[in-house]
Structure 1
Amino acid sequence: MADESKKQGVTQFEGEDLDQESELERRIIGLGVHREYAKWAYYETNPADIFKKPEALDDMLVIDASYGSFAGLFASSILAEMGAEVIRVEPPGGDIARKMSPYGMMIKDTGLPYLVEGGRNKYHVTCNLDSEEGQKIFKRLVAKADVLIETFKPGYLAARGIGYEDLRKENPGLIYCALHSYGHFGEDAEKFGNQPDYDIIDQARSVIMSITGEPDLDPEVPPQYKRPLKHGNWMGWYTGGAWAAYGIGLAMFYKRKTGKGQFLDCSPPEGLVAIANYALQYFHMAGDEMPRAGNYDYAVFPYTYVRCKDGYTFMSGFTDPNWTALCEIMNRPDLHKQFPTIKDRLTPENQPKIQHEIEKFTEKFTSDEILQMLNEYNQRPDKKGTVVTGRLETPKDVLQREHWKERMTFVEVDDPYYGKLLVQ
């Protein structure tokens, strides 16, 4: 492993044999406690250590030359967490992505998203790719690398003599991953490839935005709110980055078998299209576009968030047996009689009516009370079906719950330069 003190953000650890005593275990044993009990006590109080494993990609070297795009940054962060050695190449003055932060919040002139998502667990170097010296340095770096990730406009690096065809001459095993909203070939790439890779473009081009937003047919929604909506996070970038990391992993597997590298053309909107649910298939089969559903769902219902005493909670009972169970819990046989089958419940006109009736019940209870109530019902031997619920949790709720900490979903680190950070 490399010297982790040089890396920014998360400190990774190597797996250890469960039979090997840790320093804490030795101290416990030194107090006269039986060794097996000491091991049990240690792992009871340090549950995340059970999941320590050797890092799968600890022999992979990645050069991340992403600029202004969290798609590439997220891809290399995934690889770094799996053990890869990642070197970030930034221009003089730093990547513009460092300036992207909520309300302009900065730590040492760097934004939160870059610190905890884009720059973690990586080495950082400055290299001016517009200069001859910078291009020579870049070539020397890539010559030793397994992977290069870049998010420049198509042809940008090739025009400087450091594109894929140039780099593969020195490194035929290079896996070159290029991420761009329009990809590197095709009609749209030729027309619009001069634009940078932006998350909002990725979302808009993928149909995800067109199917996200308040439902057109809900009479309670004011007309001004019936418009397409982007996701609350940078879903285009993160989805594109995840697909890129997946593709790089497969290319690395191929390289280990054959010794050959390859060019990966990754378009983040295509990653979103792959998870766009049934909207495209519906139009292909029916020749009609579905109206926006909001928190409803035209394939399964009830499968939505409903009001409760302390906010909102998720409620699901879309199959006929589960709908029967939900109506029994609410003591609403009339509702079951009015909408007996799943087809009765799926129409855009009926879903708001059903949700309104469910909320007459849920608004009397808190989300925790509903969770407890349904858990008890689901364990009954005479239950008619299973009704699923789940709290709608805010960032504050998530950070205060021990469950997430125990599972190491996020970790607090004390960086010598940036101070205390929460990485996820």
Structure 2
Amino acid sequence: MGALSNLRVLDLTQVLAGPYCTMVLADMGADVVKIERPGGDLIRSNPPFVESDDEPYGGYFQSVNRGKRSLELDFGDAADREDFLSLVADADVVVENYRAGTMEKYDLEYETLREHNPQLIYSSIRGFGDPRTGETARQGQPSFDLIAQALGGVMEITGEEDGAPTKVGPGIGDLFTATLNCIGILAAVNHRAQTGEGQYVDTGMYDAMLSMTERAIYQQSYTGTAPTRQGNSHPTLFPYDAFETTDGYAVIAAFGTNHWQELCTAMDRPNLASAYPTAADRLENRETLRDDISTWASGLETAELVDRLEGRVPAAPVQSTEEIFDDPHVHAREMLIPVEQPGSGADVEIAGNPIKMTETPPEPRGRAPLLDEHREEVLGEECEVAADD
């Protein structure tokens, strides 16, 4: 049993943000029923595949839909709407990530669903939030990770100092929003346990990116100057940067005086420790000191540099995914999970769950579902509940 094994979640989401949120809930034991529109989640057909396009879905869908059950419903069909409402009556949570106003077109918005289940927690993930929690002119516009990163300030502070604004590699506009939404859902579950009241939970991608760029927000407020790109360095800490080696890159975070002294010892440059004893000294002279560290790093292989600093100074190699797959730490922490890839006859590996718990450890509960795979199972359960009632 997982920590959330008492929860039934109806997942109307697709692509990334919503499915990631409900995947986390499923990993923690919730029964997540993925309600898919006709033809299924838009991302089912996205590559990569193991062998051929005959597989029912690719790695994108597999990665964030594991451990769920699938039911295909057409909200334009009256019978399917009735089936959905029968599921709502016994559900704990409904999650959707449509544009604002979409559920209203089918008379399946929060207010309608609440009439069928007053204790329901209804959660939405949208680009710009929902009018119920703060109306703006942007609501109803489509949004993706790239849009959220651009508007929320992430791209403006990411990239080389003399380069173009750069999005962060992973889809943090989706993933961070999803994580915050999951927290909101669990807070609402706790509130309901105390009061019996359901509620609406709303997380907007633009809002989430503002939250993630917290450093840029307070810098603007305190200094009156808009922060911008400065590569891998930090605006107020030094050294805190990536340095090129003979065979790659390593990062060093030695802004604390104790770590700075250890770094200077490892570099055989004790004079630097005495010449720049305070954090302010180091920040003021960062360009000169960066050159000194860069010269030292450029004569070492990445592994040698990290070995010299290990246990003394926070340092690490900049790893590729190939290196991650070879890292014993990753395997010891169960962060690579094998799951079946239907149609291929092979297992694939996807990212594990970073939340570790001693009594109810989250874990992926099987592969992602085939489209409509659990129709008889899910609707049959509702028939049984109705008969019992």
TM over 0.5: yes
The 8 Å contact of residues 56 and 343 in structure 2, kept in 1 or not, is answered as: no
Q: Select 1:178's aligned residue among 121, 124, 131.
A: 124
SS in 2 for 1:290: coil
- The CA distance in 2 between the partners of 1:358 and 1:269, in whole Å, is 38
Task: Say whether 1:326 aligns with 2:260.
Answer: no
Find the counterpart in structure 2 of residue 422 from structure 1.
Answer: 349
Find the counterpart in structure 2 of residue 208 from structure 1.
Answer: 154
- The CA distance in 1 between the partners of 2:89 and 2:141, in whole Å, is 29
Greater alpha carbon shift after TM alignment, 155-164 vs 177-186: 177-186
Find the counterpart in structure 2 of residue 72 from structure 1.
Answer: 18
Greater alpha carbon shift after TM alignment, 311-320 vs 147-156: 311-320
- The CA distance in 2 between the partners of 1:353 and 1:270, in whole Å, is 38
SS in 2 for 1:263: strand
Q: Once the two structures are superposed, what CA deviation does each residue of 1:6-41 show, in whole Å capped at 9, x if it has no partner?
A: xxxxxxxxxxxxxxxxxxxxxxxxxxxxxxxxxxxx
Alpha-carbon offset, residue 334 of structure 1: 4.5
- The CA distance in 1 between the partners of 2:73 and 2:49, in whole Å, is 29
TM-score relative to the length of structure 2: 0.84
The 8 Å contact of residues 210 and 228 in structure 1, kept in 2 or not, is answered as: yes
The 8 Å contact of residues 49 and 59 in structure 2, kept in 1 or not, is answered as: no
Find the counterpart in structure 1 of residue 307 from structure 2.
Answer: 372
Task: Say whether 1:241 aligns with 2:173.
Answer: no
Alpha-carbon offset, residue 389 of structure 1: 1.0
Task: Say whether 1:141 aligns with 2:84.
Answer: no
1:19-418 → structure 2 map (5 Å cutoff): 54-67=1-14, 69-101=15-47, 108-117=55-64, 119-185=65-131, 190-216=136-162, 226-336=163-273, 339-347=276-284, 350-375=285-310, 378=311, 386-415=312-341, 417=343
- The CA distance in 2 between the partners of 1:415 and 1:55, in whole Å, is 24
Q: List structure 1 runs of 4+ shifted beyond 6 angstroms.
A: none
Determine which structure has greater relative contact order: mean sequence separation of CA pairs < 8 Å that are 6+ residues apart, divided by chain length.
2
Segments of 5+ residues of structure 1 without an aligned counterpart are: 1-53, 217-225, 379-385
The 8 Å contact of residues 324 and 336 in structure 1, kept in 2 or not, is answered as: yes
SS in 2 for 1:86: strand
Alpha-carbon offset, residue 148 of structure 1: 0.4
Greater alpha carbon shift after TM alignment, 153-162 vs 325-334: 325-334
Aligned amino acid, residue 61 of structure 2:
Y
- The CA distance in 1 between the partners of 2:208 and 2:133, in whole Å, is 18
The 8 Å contact of residues 63 and 147 in structure 1, kept in 2 or not, is answered as: yes
CA RMSD of aligned residues (A): 2.3
- The CA distance in 1 between the partners of 2:3 and 2:201, in whole Å, is 21
How many residues end up aligned between the 2 structures? 349
Q: Once the two structures are superposed, what CA deviation does each residue of 1:102-122 show, in whole Å capped at 9, x if it has no partner?
A: 6998561423111122x2110
Alpha-carbon offset, residue 304 of structure 1: 1.1
The 8 Å contact of residues 175 and 248 in structure 1, kept in 2 or not, is answered as: yes
Alpha-carbon offset, residue 351 of structure 1: 3.2
Aligned amino acid, residue 228 of structure 1:
P
Give the number of the structure whose alpha-carbon radius of gyration is greater.
Answer: 1
Change (3 A) 1:285 1:227: same
Percent of pairs with identical residues: 28
Find the counterpart in structure 2 of residue 3 from structure 1.
Answer: none
